[in-house]
Chains A and B, each alone.
Chain A
Amino acid sequence: MTKLTPYRRPYWNTQPEYLFPKYASTVKRAPTQPLVVLPHTLSEVTAPVFGTDEVKPGDSDLTRQHKGEPLGERIVVSGRVLDENSKPVPNVLIEIWQANAAGRYNHRVDQHDAPIDPNFTGAGRALTDAEGRYRFMTIRPGEYPWRNHYNAWRPAHIHFSLFGRAFMQRLITQMYFPGDPLLDYDPMFTCVADEKARRRLISEFDWETTLPEYALGYRFDIVLRGRDETPMENRR
């Protein structure tokens, strides 16, 4: 095993730079020295495998973790995890976390004056199935203020963390909601120049997964890096 197919390098303007002064916290945390281009060796193209002994079916329902029901609007968030070659990625560990309906995180450093919901922790987990599909039941998170600049508010969002088959596919992103008026003011959402790339961070309302008289459905597909085209000599 000497020849490995590397993963594709990011497409122009679709991934953020480290230094992005509009997001003030990048200034003291972005590297200042030149990055060294990392070849994709066996270390980079492999990744840990997670299983159903760690992730239980109930872990994907954020509305059933306490005695009572959380406040807010129930939503179903579902979608597929694909790679850049349009192939579904099965067995991906997805971890999500979010604010409650009032825009408050259940976390010691969140000092926003909005109520904690004793029936909502805001964390969930799932593994994708053979077709790369996942599904969460949760409540719609609220918008909240932050101190990046004067009168700064984050649009409603859910944090997503994903593992692929390769450590180089590891991705943490955020899912936004359609029609949110705060999106264009948000330095995180607007951190890349490519308009289409931004739009792909916005979920779509989905009639098919909406549960009658219970919960609205939002669809959010996620794309992980894919391998470069398979060299010809390896095709049979």
Chain B
Amino acid sequence: MSLRTSTSQTIGPYLRIGLEWMVIEDLAPAAVAGERVRIEGRVLDGDGKPVNDAAVEIWQANSHGRYASPDDSGSAPLEPAFRGYGRSLTDDRGAFRFRTIKPGRVPGPAGKLQAPHLLVTIFMRGLLKQLVTRMYFPGDSANADDPVLALVPPARRGTLVAGGSADVLQWNIVLQGKDETVFFDF
């Protein structure tokens, strides 16, 4: 028998009551292998105003390219201290932040490897369902033939690649307008 997925509803303005207990902005304790990265960004609405009530969640592989999930049957090693899940709730500047490690490459469609990326979901008041996007790493040569980036119109690909310095990556989530972030139909 087939059922239908429950209808999504907005997270509303009071998300902190339910979600603040599990804010995870520091994903990788010292023992976890990999290149350390700090990611900082802001969520901005159609008027360029900060969104101060968003939940930004990330999901990523470890530096060996393995997800800490029973559905990743790959042979790359797991890191017991690394789950790969992060949650940041935006502040009055619309800012979110993560400290993590750069993920390794994971398999993609047609046996090709994907470029290192974070899968990102954003919930907020004013969204009846989550936005889904990805963040890629600047200057990574693998970006050029990433199978998912290849699906994005070339002029908009830049919205999915972080900027900033090597120490602090900057990546804004722009909901509308000229620099609107690419969001996926998931």
Chain A residues close to B by CB (< 8 Å): 1-2, 8, 10-11, 14-18, 20, 23, 25-33, 35-39, 41-49, 54, 82-86, 95-97, 99, 105-107, 109-110, 121-123, 125, 159, 161, 165-168, 170-174, 188, 191-192, 196-198, 200-201, 222-226
Which B residues are CB-close (under 8 A) to A200? 4, 6-7
| Of the residues A20, A27, A96, A109, contact of B18 by C-beta under 8 Å | A96
Distance between Cα atoms of A165 and B72 in the complex (Å) = 11
Q: Tell me if B14 and A29 are in contact (CB < 8 A).
A: no
Q: Tell me if A45 and B71 are in contact (CB < 8 A).
A: yes
- Judge if B114 is at the interface, Cβ distance under 8 Å: yes
**Listed A/B pairs (25) with beta-carbon separation below 8 Å:** A8-B5, A15-B5, A15-B8, A23-B10, A29-B175, A30-B175, A38-B186, A42-B72, A43-B59, A46-B67, A46-B72, A49-B69, A107-B17, A123-B18, A125-B21, A161-B11, A161-B18, A170-B57, A170-B121, A172-B11, A172-B123, A192-B7, A223-B5, A223-B6, A226-B2
Known contacts A18-B129, A43-B59, A172-B123: A121-B8 contact under CB 8 Å: no
Q: Tell me if B148 and A41 are in contact (CB < 8 A).
A: yes
Which B residues are CB-close (under 8 A) to A29? 45-46, 51, 124-127, 175-176
Q: Tell me if A10 and B114 are in contact (CB < 8 A).
A: no
Q: Tell me if A85 and B175 are in contact (CB < 8 A).
A: no
Which A residues are CB-close (under 8 A) to B49? 28
| Of the residues B57, B175, B184, contact of A28 by C-beta under 8 Å | B175
Q: Tell me if B6 and A201 are in contact (CB < 8 A).
A: yes
Q: Tell me if A38 and B14 are in contact (CB < 8 A).
A: no
Q: How many A-B residue pairs have CB under 8 A?
A: 241
Which A residues are CB-close (under 8 A) to B36? none
